[in-house]
């Protein structure tokens, strides 16, 4: 079966140079034991929300599910890619009209799908200053979902949403999209990449976070998979 599949890595490589919300990467590695002792052992230090990562409901809600509580049946699901990359700019907002336009071409988004906003912002990953894109007021400007689009996707009963930016809320202090999605027990994946290689419909996504018992966030290996014949 797998010989007939195309796999796409949707995960950024983590290093000391990646862009983050605060601007301070928080990632480092330390050699605790090296080859002259027979093998190399590393210690990693990083923020839980660095790189391509999942936000669990408990990120905002103390009684919400943690990372380890989310079952595989919600992590390996069909994905829908809403492609707005041709409009790429810092003020871009994925609106309900974009979702409805997608559905005109690909059919109604099915229950238990994972919906990705492909904004093209992934192209700036190697330029942290541009990826964060501070304006004159010191606010970050990058593409996001509108509150109304999150509400519509909850009506579709998706398992979660993803985006190729630091947050589906942009730099909005009250985080309406997070509250809506996580408040309904769904999850969010931020800093996706490689989205240009996925079909708009017909692929599955594997969202594989570190299985942390009390994890509100966790870095994740995300993989897209689809049949070669479409």
Task: Please classify residue 137 by burial: count the beta carbons closer than 10 Å to its beta carbon, then call 0-12 exposed, 13-18 middle and 19+ buried.
Answer: exposed
Query: Where is average pLDDT lowest: 21-25, 43-47, 122-126, 141-145?
Result: 21-25
Inform me whether the pLDDT recorded for 230 exceeds 60: no
Examine residue 38 and state whether it is found in any structural domain, yes or no.
no
Mean pLDDT of the chain: 94
How many helices, marked H, and strands, marked E, lie in the chain? 4, 12
Examine residue 140 and state whether it is found in any structural domain, yes or no.
yes
Examine residue 107 and state whether it is found in any structural domain, yes or no.
yes
Examine residue 26 and state whether it is found in any structural domain, yes or no.
no
* pLDDT score recorded for residue 181: 98
Examine residue 31 and state whether it is found in any structural domain, yes or no.
no
Q: Which domain holds residue 68?
A: 2-12+48-227
Q: What is the CATH number of the domain that holds 204?
A: 3.50.30.50
Examine residue 148 and state whether it is found in any structural domain, yes or no.
yes
Rounded to whole angstroms, how far apart are CA atoms 78 and 198? 12
Examine residue 39 and state whether it is found in any structural domain, yes or no.
no
Examine residue 188 and state whether it is found in any structural domain, yes or no.
yes
Give how many domains the chain has, as a whole number: 1
pTM: 0.94
């Amino acid at each position: 079966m797998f010989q007939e599949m195309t796999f796409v890595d949707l995960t950024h490589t983590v290093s000391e140079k990646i862009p983050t919300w605060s601007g301070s990467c928080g990632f480092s590695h330390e050699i605790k034991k090296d080859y002259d002792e027979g093998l190399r052992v590393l210690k990693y230090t990083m923020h839980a929300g660095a790189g391509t990562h999942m936000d669990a409901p408990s990120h905002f809600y103390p009684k919400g599910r943690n990372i380890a509580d989310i079952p595989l049946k919600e992590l390996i699901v069909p994905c829908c890619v809403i492609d707005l990359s041709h409009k790429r700019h810092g003020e871009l907002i994925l609106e309900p009209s974009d979702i409805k336009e997608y559905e005109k071409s690909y059919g109604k988004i099915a229950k238990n799908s994972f919906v990705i906003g492909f904004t093209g912002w992934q192209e700036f990953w190697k330029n942290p200053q541009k990826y964060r894109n501070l304006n004159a007021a010191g606010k970050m400007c990058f593409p996001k979902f509108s509150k109304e689009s999150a509400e519509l996707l909850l009506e579709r009963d998706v398992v979660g949403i993803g985006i190729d930016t630091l947050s589906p809320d942009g730099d909005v202090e009250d985080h309406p999209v997070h509250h809506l999605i996580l408040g309904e027990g769904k999850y969010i994946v931020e800093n996706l990449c490689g989205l240009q290689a996925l079909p708009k419909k017909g692929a599955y996504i594997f969202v594989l976070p570190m299985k942390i018992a009390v994890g509100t966030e966790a870095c994740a290996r995300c993989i897209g998979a689809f049949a070669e014949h479409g």
